[in-house]
Structure 1
Amino acid sequence: MAATPTGEKTPMPDDLAIHTETIQPVSTAKTDNDIPEEYRAELDNGDITVEALGGTVDDLPAGYYRSFNFIGTITALCFGQISCYFGFVMPANILTIINEDIGPNPNYVWTALIWNLTQAVAFVLVGRLSDLLGRRWFFILGNAIGLVGSIIACVAPNIPVLIVGSAFIGIGAGVQLSFSMVIGELIPNKYRGFGISCIFVSALPLTAFGPVIIRSMVLHTAAGWRWSFYINVIVLTIVVALFYFCYHPPTYEMLHARRAHNVSRWKMVDFVGILLFTAGLLVLLLGISWGGSIYPWKSAKVIGFIVGGAVILILLVVWEIYGAGEYPLIPINLFRNRHYVGVIITAAVGSMVYYSLLVLWPVQITELYDTDIMAVGWKSCVVAGAALIGQGACGVFVRILGKHKLQMIISVSLLTAFTGAMAATTPTTPGMAVTFIFLASVCLGYVENVALTIGPFCLEQADLGLALGLLGATRSTLATTAQAIFETILSNKLITNIPKYVIPAVLDAGLPQSSVDALLAGLSAGNMTGVPDITPAIEAAATEGNKQAYSHSFQIVYLAAVAFGCCGIMAALNAPNSESKFTNIVPRKLHGKGVGKVQEKDAPATEA
């Protein structure tokens, strides 16, 4: 039964009452005094039923956290995190190798681009719509779509087919990386940060050693890189099965106690908003991704797509304000919440550095320090492995230390400092480079977990999915933008720095002026054996000059990253201190026969 604003009880519709009996409510004797104050408004407004609320830990059924449904759900979330590595992170580390195998095709970069695009869109759609309609089928179908993409990638005979598979895998990743929505509902608020870090840590072997594992597959198995997708098919089959049998969160009827029988669920779906958001974000990100890599920034395609995407997103804002009605896809008033905006911008800055390092650090290793395929793989592990350390550390200290604004300011400041320090590295300082990359990655992992933990506390519990979905989409969008900017800076600087440092070196080593163009072409192709008048001394001089060119070019990239870091520091000044939210309250609970027996309570629930 739900309470009206006047305190009277209104009878639950018969069919809803029958439904909740089959899912074993915690206690039909629960009174208003048993409901935590911060969730009583949801009941008073008729938004949810008592059966959907978790209450406090003491209100849950006996053995709830040892139940088949809960353990199966958490296991599914862990395997979903693992799937992200097999489905994208590991293959992305060897895209050039994959292109050599089933290409060559100049469009192979689309394998990574399309994953980022579809993931960004999926974040918001899953977050907002699952808030309104219930999360169960979004997590089942989202992972099933990822499974289809992995099957396509397994058998891809060429790059275009692999790109199609990557698009489906990206949709699945948007769901898998939304695991904090489930964690934020099913465990006590005070353990939210720890729960998020546990999901991150569950993928430890792949996070720490993914580049080495995928390169070992290439060197030592007949199927090579395809094994990454083969394993992902197995992993996602398990994920889909576990979500189907174990994950039974509050249903649509429970989330809309009074309106479920009067308002069609389709009226809660902002179809126009979905169309404008999807089209605008995809068009904008396509233009940004193309710029400086596939097409020049000044090309008509790049400018047209960036401007077109921006115009569509402006139309989205107008629609959400004036035309979307009661259930907009993205309530614009969220952006007046400075605490929330501060958190998502700070998190986005961390992602801008993280995803850029994932792409640029292996290039820096290869060009400056080592060319052996396994050595590059081992050094590439530093970024993701150190980020995992930061995520795990945050899970331990985010509640203990409190002062979350200060935590974000310090961690993003250190991230900026260590990233900027990379500008001081040279071809002769590999140890320094690895150390600074490690420390920067630890800081960005800490920033990410703090944001995922306290971001949803800035909004109502009913908007948990929306809060995390917007956070995820913002991170993906700005990370894609930063990656394009950094790659453009690198390529533009190389255009001037390679002739600046290589030509004088090879001329001093004895190369005739007439052979310079051939040497530059051979250097770019990685093979200088056909250059006229080439000698070992000239080749060594060219290699050393090339290292100097890359070193000075990377310096500018890392200095540019400092500018983004400063934006993150300013955003962190607006982050909230959320100590009062770290309570023993469990916002929602699982249902079904696998969650344990009903535990009746006579005494009112208490907060820890």
Structure 2
Amino acid sequence: MASIEKVQATAYEEPLAHDVYIEDDPHRAALELNPEKPEKLTWQTVFSIFFLGLGFVGPVSGGFLLVTAILFQIGTELGDVSNIAWMPGGWSIASSVSFSIAGSLSDIFGRRNVTLSGQVIAVVGAIVGATAQTTTTVVVGCTLLGFSAGIIFVAYAGIPEILPNKWRNVGLAWTEGAMAIPWAICGVIIANQLVSKATWRWAFYIAIIYAVISMIGTAIFYFPPSRPRRDFEKTRWQEIKEIDYIGIILYTAGLTIFLVGLTWAGTPAHPWRSASVIAPIVLGVLVFIACFVYDFIVPKQPFFPLGLFRRYREFTLLLVVVFVAGMIFYSMSGLLPQGTLYMFESDPLQIGLTQLPNGIGNFIGGTLIPAIAHKIKHLKMQMIVALTVQLVFVALYSVAIPQSKGAWMAFQFFGQGCFGMITLLCYFIAGLHVPLRELGIASGLIGTFRSAGGSVGNAIFNTILTSVVTTEMPKRVIAAALEAGFPASNLADLIPATVGAATGVPDAFAKVEGATPEVQQAALKAFRAAYGYAFKRVFWATIPFGVIAIICACFVLDSSQYLTNHTAVRMEKETIGGRGTHADDVESKEVHHVSESDKDA
């Protein structure tokens, strides 16, 4: 028996001291604790997965997808469009921080308590957003919702561990499906209809409704093991004191300062070469580097664990992949509806219809294909294909603008549709490589890097767009209007009227003397061409990042061989049907425990 159960630590794992269980080696657990048939799912497990997935809808679909589709409209109604980029920016920064905090805490307090706390914060954030009277307050609401999203994403560890290995992807696909139907598919239509028929505040009302329902369902059905880490030599209070608070502060400060510099860059008040841009960018990078140096040397329980990062092919490369995927997806979620508004349509319903392929692609790529990933196998190759499709079609957006609306719609189906697939494959592959005791922090780090990528991408690509438009749009509009016979003495009124007409303001040119139909047509054409020129630079800027992600994916260690019937944990408390883990876990420990004497045998 001892020879069968003896733990052989692999090259990428640190030695396991004292009491050791097969479950601490995910590869051995998958292959040796592999029954002929997967355990039958209980209704409690099914409902737990259902409500955990539903919990994503409030903070992500309501607080991010719907809001980013109508950033300009929200800012316009509240009288401040200068800070609208911080709505998705604040969401992404907050979620990137809370992901890893929540991952660590869930390993101490259990997934249930942490998930419920995130759902409570989601309700609070949605209420703040729904009652906001300024753009800044909406940013605060979005930031709280982003923070709650990072906590609720503990479900990306909680769902897989209560399912057989080969079905983990199905549970994860449900989380994307909950966010997609109808929100990701028709989110832009819904958001714009809310603006035109009711109020943008309904985006936050929807978040409140889903957050409350998911919180109640989670509280009733979800009872996973209360101590996933199984470190019974320490009290919870000891483990809380060991959390890397300094690392968290350094990470948050470095990322925020860096993004402030990037967001300011290229504006009239802050040219690229100004100290107000260079100083925060450099300082942010230095603080960020200091965070990693500190984490790898000092704390007992680091924000970025060196042992986990040493699993290069099993884990670290996935962080690069998901960072780039987040850069492109989250930034494009806000930019593409703006592109449709500025280059093609000003009617809210038409904007939504134009973005419909984007949403359908998200549903297919984030839900349907990942749900059969275990049937396709070759997880690494699936990831490479998805990254390649994303790279090619995001670059192809530049071919469609500003003249081809049909191509603009079709390319979004592929360009945006791959994100969910890439993300879930990262969670799926990592979950099959990382020991159960580290699954919370590993899942949290994947979420951290995904959201951090979104924050960086949002800042970089918005800055490129803003800086190019600031230079090109007035120059082109003025030249086109003068050529069409517009009097030079009225140029001061021309740009505001052109922007108003392009974004759907009725009779925007009515009070502009000399704005003949020919002048209006020429000015609008030049306006759209200027935005087309700027957006092309944005799309081309994504190419080098996409290439880096594809190269990294080529070196990821495939985990397809571990798609077995093994289930990592069972519920600790029964609420409807089935059996909990309490007795079974004791039995499991008796059978699969490896003592020090066994290892010496």
Q: Same fold (TM over 0.5)?
A: yes
C-alpha separation in 2, matches of 1:572 and 1:49: 29
Match of 2:153 in 1: 177
- Find the counterpart in structure 2 of residue 220 from structure 1: 197
Q: Which moved more, 1:203-212 or 1:329-338?
A: 329-338
C-alpha contact (below 8 Å) 1:152/1:161 kept by paired residues = yes
Aligned partner of 1:356: which letter?
A: S
The change in CA–CA distance for 1:267 and 1:157 in structure 2 (over 3 A counts) is: closer
Are 2:509 and 1:528 equivalent residues in the alignment? yes
User: CA 1:312 to 1:504, structure 2 compared with 1: closer, same or farther past 3 Å?
Assistant: closer
Corresponding residue for residue 266 of structure 1:
240
- Pairing 1:279-358 to 2, within 5 Å after superposition: 279-292=253-266, 295-325=270-300, 327-339=301-313, 340-358=315-333
Corresponding residue of 1:207: 184
Question: d(CA) in 2 for partners of 1:194 and 1:72?
Answer: 14
Tell me the residue number matched to 1:576. 557
Residue aligning to 1:24: none
Aligned counterpart for 1:589 among listed residues 538, 549, 570: 570
Contact persistence 1:198–1:392 (CA under 8 A): yes
Q: 1 CA distance for matches of 2:16 and 2:23?
A: 7
Task: Quote the offset at 1:284 in angstroms.
Answer: 3.1
2:47–2:221 contact (8 Å) kept in structure 1: yes
Q: Please say which of residues 510-519 and 126-135 is displaced more in the overlay.
A: 510-519
**Secondary structure, in 3 states, of the residue corresponding to 2:557?**
coil
After the TM superposition, which residues 26-175 of structure 1 pair with which residues of structure 2 at under 5 Å, given as runs?
45-46=18-19, 65-68=41-44, 70-83=45-58, 84-104=60-80, 106-175=82-151
Aligned equivalents of 2:241, 2:209: Cα separation in 1: 37
Report the secondary structure of 1:575's partner residue.
coil
User: Alpha-carbon deviations, 1:47-97, whole Å to 9, x = none?
Assistant: 67999x99968699986x2333x2332122122122121223212221222
Closer, same or farther: CA 514–292 of 1 in aligned 2, 3 Å: same
What per-residue deviation string (whole Å, max 9, x for no partner) do you get for residues 237-276 of structure 1?
2222222232222123x63354146983334423333333
Distance change (3 Å), C-alpha of 1:530 and 1:77: same
CA distance in 2, matches of 1:554, 1:597: 56
Distance 1:563 1:262 in 2: 45
Matches within 5 A, 1:460-471: 460-471=435-446
Contact in 1 for aligned 2:164/2:564 (Cα 8 Å): yes
AA in 2 matched with 1:206:
W
Within the alignment, does 1:543 sit opposite 2:518 as a pair?
no
User: What is the Cα deviation at residue 493 of structure 1?
Assistant: 2.5
The CA RMSD over aligned residues, in Å, is 3.6
Give the conservation status (yes or no) of the 8 Å contact 2:9–2:15.
Answer: no
Structure 1 residues 482 and 265: alpha-carbon distance in aligned structure 2, compared to 1, 3 A threshold: closer
Query: Alignment partner for residue 558 of structure 1, among 536, 539, 544?
Result: 539
- Indicate how the Cα distance of structure 1 residues 399 and 502 shifts in structure 2: closer, same or farther if over 3 A, else same: same
Query: Aligned ranges for residues 498-509 of structure 1 at < 5 Å?
Result: 498-499=473-474, 501-509=476-484
Q: State which of 252, 266, 270 in structure 2 corresponds to 1:278.
A: 252
Q: Which amino acid aligns with 2:121?
A: I
Match of 2:423 in 1: 448
Q: Contact 2:111/2:224 (CA < 8 Å) preserved in 1?
A: yes
Q: Is the 8 A contact 1:62 1:598 kept in 2?
A: no
Q: 1:145 to 1:49 in 2, by over 3 A?
A: farther
Q: Which residue pairs with 1:406 in the alignment?
A: 381
The one-letter amino acid paired with 1:276 is L
Deviation at 1:316, TM superposition (A): 2.2
Q: Write the distance in 2 (CA, Å) between the matches of 1:263 and 1:225.
A: 43
Q: By how many angstroms is 1:348 displaced?
A: 2.1
Map Cα deviations across residues 34-56 of structure 1 (whole Å, 9 max, x no partner). 99999xx99984367999x9996
Instruction: After TM superposition, give the deviation of residue 396 of structure 1 in Å.
Output: 3.7
Q: Does the aligned pair in 2 maintain the 1:289–1:481 contact within 8 Å?
A: no
Inter-partner Cα distance in structure 1 for 2:279 and 2:130 = 35
Query: CA, structure 1 residues 596+35, in 2 after alignment: closer, same or farther (shift >3 Å)?
Result: farther
Amino acid at match of 1:534: A
Using the alignment, how far apart are the partners of 1:37 and 1:593 within structure 2? 35
Match of 1:28 in 2: none
- Deviation track 1:213-257 (CA, whole Å, cap 9, x = no partner) reads 222223333xx22222223222212222222232222123x6335
Q: Deviations over 1:91-114 (max 9, x none)?
A: 222122223333346434433322
**Aligned twin of 2:599:** none
How many angstroms apart in 1 are the aligned matches of 2:36 and 2:66? Answer: 43
Q: Distance in 2 between matches of 1:245 and 1:133?
A: 18
Offset, 1:391: 1.6
Name the SS of the counterpart of 2:132 in structure 1.
coil
Q: Deviation of residue 519 (structure 1)?
A: 2.2
Relative to structure 1, is the Cα distance of residues 247 and 285 closer, same or farther in structure 2, using a 3 angstrom cutoff? farther
- Using structure 2 for the length normalisation, give the TM-score: 0.85
Closer/same/farther in 2, CA of residues 500 and 219 from structure 1, 3 Å limit: closer
The equivalent of 2:597 in structure 1 is none
Asked whether the 8 Å contact 1:393–1:446 carries over to 2, the reply is no
1:520 CA displacement: 3.2
Q: C-alpha deviations, 1:407-447, integer Å up to 9, x for none?
A: 22222112211122222113331111111111212233322
Distance 1:408 1:309, change over 3 A: same
Is contact 2:296–2:306 with CA below 8 Å preserved after alignment?
A: yes
Offset, 1:521: 4.3
- Contact 1:46 / 1:257 at 8 angstroms: preserved in 2? no
Matches within 5 A, 1:248-267: 248-252=223-227, 255-256=229-230, 258-260=232-234, 264-267=238-241
Change in CA separation of 1:247 and 1:290 when aligned onto 2, cut-off 3 Å: farther
How far apart, in 1, do the equivalents of 2:322 and 2:51 lie? Answer: 25
Amino acid in structure 1 at the alignment position of 2:19: G
The residue type paired with residue 201 of structure 1 is G
Q: 2-side partners of 1:34 and 1:60: how far apart?
A: 25
- Residue 168 (structure 2) pairs with residue 186 (structure 1): no
TM-score by length of 1: 0.84
1:139: how far off?
0.7
Q: 2:341 matched to 1:366? A: yes
Q: How many Å separate the matches in 2 of 1:316 and 1:59?
A: 46
Matches for 1:8-19 after TM superposition, within 5 Å: none
Relative distance call for 1:548 and 1:255 in structure 2 (3 A) is closer
Residues in 2 aligned to 1:587 and 1:273: alpha-carbon distance in whole angstroms? 30
Deviation at 1:456, TM superposition (A): 3.0
Decide whether aligned partners of structure 1 residues 144 and 42 sit closer, same or farther in structure 2, where only a CA change above 3 A counts: farther
Q: How far apart are 1:395 and its partner, in Å?
A: 1.8
Residues of 1 paired with 2:470 and 2:129: CA distance?
35
Is the alpha carbon distance of 1:468 and 1:574 closer, same or farther for their aligned partners in structure 2, counting shifts above 3 Å? same
Distance 1:296 1:467 in 2: 39
Contact kept? 2:357, 2:409, Cα under 8 Å: yes
- Whether the 8 Å CA contact 1:49–1:255 is kept in 2: the answer is no
Question: How many Å separate the matches in 1 of 2:211 and 2:8?
Answer: 37
| Contact 1:57–1:188 (8 Å) recurs in 2 | no
